[in-house]
């Protein structure tokens, strides 16, 4: 039985596209059933619709508090029977309520090798630190920003002449491979969140 997945986006949804593409492949254990954006003009909504995925706009501007918005998003996700939620360029800080409600079923991708370089301007941080390797991380979401237990990572060498844009574009290529692979592990029950830690099943 395929797991029903919802994706939250705010913009072009490039990682959303990689997840939708993976879900269309034979044997992939996931069905993307809903894409929600907090922005009515998010480019990714058109791509999702063209791929046959239901879309919904839930504007955060219509809600007085972060939690009220998150509850409205959750209502739409649960109405669609969503079992796993993937954040894909969702430019909202989540309420503690949302992170706890979806605990163990909420994934995010971050463009650094966490726990290094949390937050925004990640590639600028990496270049300023002089690291020779950067990359991306898929992790379970917890209330603390970019602090959830790690599911999978991919490393990318940092070139001496890299700019934030060139590094970002090279890492994005790996993000598009890593996110579907990590989602597959979770959907198959081979990775789970247990007592605040990532647990991998053998076999």
What's the chain look like in SS3? Answer: CCEEEEEEECCCCHHHHHHHHHHCCCCCCEEEEEEEECCCCCHHHHHHHHCCCCEEECCHHHCCCHHHHHHHHHHHHHHCCCCEEEECCCCCCCCHHHHHHCCCCEEEEECCCCCCCCCCCHHHHHHHHCCCEEEEEEEECCCCCCCCCEEEEEEEECCCCCCHHHHHHHHHHHHHHHHHHHHHHHHCCCEEEECCEEEECCC
Using CA atoms of 36, 40, 43, 48 in order, give the dihedral in degrees to the nearest 10: 40
Domains of the chain: 3-192 (3.40.50.170)
Tens-level pLDDT at each residue, the chain (203 residues): 999 999 999 999 999 999 999 999 999 999 999 999 999 999 999 999 999 999 999 999 999 999 999 999 999 999 999 999 999 999 999 999 999 999 999 999 999 999 999 999 999 999 999 999 999 999 999 999 999 999 999 999 999 999 999 999 999 999 999 999 999 999 999 999 999 999 999 75
**pTM reported for the whole predicted model:** 0.96
Using CA atoms of 17, 20, 23, 26 in order, give the dihedral in degrees to the nearest 10: -80
Catalytic residues: 110
Whether 97 and 137 have beta carbons less than 8 Å apart is answered as no
């Amino acid at each position: 039985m395929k797991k029903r997945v919802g994706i939250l986006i705010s913009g072009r949804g490039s990682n959303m596209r990689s997840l939708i593409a993976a879900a269309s492949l034979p044997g992939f254990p996931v069905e993307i059933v809903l894409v929600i954006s907090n922005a009515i003009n998010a480019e990714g909504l058109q791509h999702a619709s063209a791929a046959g995925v239901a879309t919904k706009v839930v504007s955060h501007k219509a809600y007085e508090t972060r939690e009220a918005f998150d509850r409205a998003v959750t209502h739409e996700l649960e109405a669609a029977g969503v079992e796993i939620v993937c954040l894909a360029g969702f430019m909202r800080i989540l309420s503690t309520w949302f992170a706890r409600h979806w605990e163990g079923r909420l994934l995010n991708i971050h463009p650094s090798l966490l726990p290094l370089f949390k937050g925004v301007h990640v590639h600028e941080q990496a270049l300023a630190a002089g690291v020779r390797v950067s990359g991306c991380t898929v992790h379970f979401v917890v209330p603390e920003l970019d602090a959830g237990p790690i599911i999978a990572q991919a490393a990318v060498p940092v070139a001496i002449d890299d700019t934030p844009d060139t590094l970002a574009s090279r890492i994005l290529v790996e993000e598009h491979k890593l996110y579907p692979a990590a989602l597959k592990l979770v959907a198959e029950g081979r990775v789970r969140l247990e007592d605040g830690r990532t647990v991998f099943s053998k076999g």
